[in-house]
Chains A and B, each alone.
Chain A
C-alpha cells in the first residue's frame, strides 16, 4: 500500500518536473497547483478538500506545492496609479458633505479593492483603507505599523486634496503561503 502511494507521488513529481519548460510564469503557477490538486484527488484524504465548504473549521491536510515564494509580486507603481486614478476621479470636483462622504468612502474602498484584484496577482490578500475628511484648518496624523514578512508583503498609499476635503487611500498586500 505504501509502495503504491510512493509510486503515485513520484509520478506526480515527474509531471511537475515537466511543467517548467512550458508556458509563462503565472500560468505555470496555476497549472502546477491545478495539476497537484488533480493528482491529489486520487489520494483518499483529499475528500476533506472536496468538502471544504461544509466543514470550514476542520484541519485540511494539503499536499506540498514546493513553492518558496510568490511567482509574481505586487507592482507598487501600478497600485499607486490605481489609487491616484480612483481618488482623483471620485473626489476632484466634490465638496465635503456628511452623508455623501460616508457613502463615498465605502464605494471608493470597494472600487480600489476590485481594481487591485483585477491585477490578478495570485496568493495575495488585500486590505484597503480609505479616509475622507473635511478641511477646516485642523491638524491630523495617520500612521501604521505592520508585523509581517517584509520580503513578500508590501503596501501603497496615496493622498488627495482639493479645496474642501482630503482623501487618503492605503492598500496593504499580504502574501498567503
Chain B
C-alpha cells in the first residue's frame, strides 16, 4: 500500500491535522485486535473524534473525514483521491496506521469557507 502524494496545502496545516488524526486512531483502536463486531463502532468513533478535534481548532473550514479499517490477511488495498478545489486554501491529509491485525487509513479533506 503506497501513499498517493498529497497536493499543496496552502493555509491548511496538514502536519497538525496529521498529529490530531494519529492521536484519535491510537485512542480508539490503540491496543485492540480486529473484530468484525466492533469495527462499525470503531470507524464511527474514529471519524467523530477526528471531526470534533479538527473543529476545536476553530478554523473556517468544512471537513470531510473518511476512515477505512481492514483486517490483515495479506490482501492488497489501494486508495486514491482526486480533488477539484482551490489549492491555495484547501487541503487534505491522509494517515496510514497499522497494528498486528489490521490496517487503518484515515483521510481528512478541508474545504475553505470564504
By a beta-carbon cutoff of 8 Å, the part of chain A in contact with chain B is 56-57, 96, 98, 101-102, 104-106, 108-110, 112-113, 116-117, 125-149, 153, 170, 172, 174, 176-177
Contacts and interface: CB of A to CB of B under 8 A. Distances in A.
B4 A138 contact: no
A132 to B, nearest CB: 5
Given A140-B69, A143-B47, A145-B48, A131 B78 contact: yes
A36 B64 CA distance: 32
Nearest to B52: A147
Interface residues of B, number: 48
Contacts of B67: 142-144
Contacts of A129: 66, 79-81, 107
Contacts, number: 149
Interface in B37-72: 39-40, 42-44, 47-48, 51, 54-55, 62-72
A133 B77 CA distance: 4
Main secondary structure of the interface of B (DSSP, over half): mixed
A98 B76 contact: yes
B68 to A, nearest CB: 4
A125 B70 CA distance: 29
A142 B43 contact: yes
Residue of A126, A174, A177 ringed by the most chain B CB atoms within 10 A: A174
Interface string B73-104: 11111111111111010101000000000000
Contacts of B34: 139
B62 A174 contact: yes
